Amino acid sequence: MTATVIDGKAFAAKVRGLVGEGVAKLKADHGITPGLAVVLVGEDPASQVYVRSKGKMTVEVGMHSIEHKLDVATSEADLLALIDQLNNDPAIHGILVQLPLPDHLDSDLVINSIDPAKDVDGFHISNVGLLGTGQKSMVPCTPLGCLMMLRDYHGSLSGMNAVVIGRSNIVGKPMAQLLLGDSCTVTIAHSRTKDLPHVVRQADIVVAAVGRPQMVPGDWIKPGATVIDVGINRIEKPDGGTRLVGDVDYDSCAAVAGAITPVPGGVGPMTIACLLANTLTACCRANGLPEPEGLTA
């Protein structure tokens, strides 16, 4: 079998198009422009690239974009004061603090100081609790993007066996909650899981969020299963230079799976698209307006 390639790049463009339509309608019908504020502390090169790209796409869908670039030595008090100001700014509907933060800043404290209604990353403890109890919340962008692609490909996920490899707070755990919410039978695997190949072979859906290049080989995959590869790893090419690979060995998995997301061009582009979707959702909720359909869990 050769797997169907789930084109995350094209799907993300479609999601951004829907967000753009929602923004245009908000402006035309209510005179409201959704606003997203991104806060970056320090000069981590990867974070700078992400923040630039987020700002560009925010403007492209017609939203108001603000970037706060703070010195690496910014004090916790100053950062918390900025977040307080953004929490109270009616023109801002989404706040994202780019992680990782420098070591002297307490990430949990900072994230939990964001108004949960503006927490478009979905990392605030209130949103984690709401998601875990099946209530309306802001949903973390990367797992939301994975869920959207799975729903689009399969329709209903009800009754499917899903194995999530990885239990991080930003991907693995919320992914498992979302799959459970869609009535999958969910297993969360991690570094202490016994006989991981056997566990993964039971899965109709495999979500790999491990951070280990090409760790999952094709002979772990049940024929016809759907493979969602969250991993983004840079490896050296034999002839020099580097390339991006996922957490699954693409070629051997694609030979067995029914469907698979590539790296790059799979989950990655969906993450920013879902950030924009969350900002639109947050704006609609803040104004007591109906939420756009199909853009959240």
d(CA 284, CA 277): 11
| Closest by CA position to 228, among listed 253, 199, 208, 202 | 208
**Which tokens hold the place of 257?**
């799976």
d(CA 66, CA 51): 11
Asked whether position 170 contacts ligand NAP by CB under 6 A, the answer is: yes
Strand partners, 243: 235
Is-catalytic flag, 54?
yes
Is-catalytic flag, 98?
yes
Least gap, CB of 266 to ligand NAP (angstroms): 8
First to last CA, the chain: 31
Asked whether position 165 contacts ligand NAP by CB under 6 A, the answer is: yes
Asked whether position 278 contacts ligand NAP by CB under 6 A, the answer is: no
The single residue among 112, 185, 233, 252 that binds ligand NAP, judged by CB under 6 A, is 233
- 68, containing H or E segment: strand 64-70
Exactly one of 115, 119, 121, 229 is catalytic; name it. 121
Geometric angle at alpha carbon 197, from 191 and 201, rounded to 5°: 125
Asked whether position 275 contacts ligand NAP by CB under 6 A, the answer is: no
Asked whether position 268 contacts ligand NAP by CB under 6 A, the answer is: yes
Question: Is 133 strand, coil or helix?
Answer: coil
Asked whether position 210 contacts ligand NAP by CB under 6 A, the answer is: yes
Sole window of 86-94, 164-172, 198-206, 284-292 interacting with ligand NAP (rule: CB under 6 A): 164-172
**Which tokens hold the place of 104?**
């002297």
Nearer to ligand NAP, 86 or 267 (CB): 267
The single residue among 64, 167, 201, 285 that binds ligand NAP, judged by CB under 6 A, is 167
Strand partners, 69: 40
Asked whether position 168 contacts ligand NAP by CB under 6 A, the answer is: yes
Residues that bind ligand NAP (CB under 6 A): 142, 165-168, 170-172, 189-193, 196, 209-212, 230-233, 247, 267-268, 271
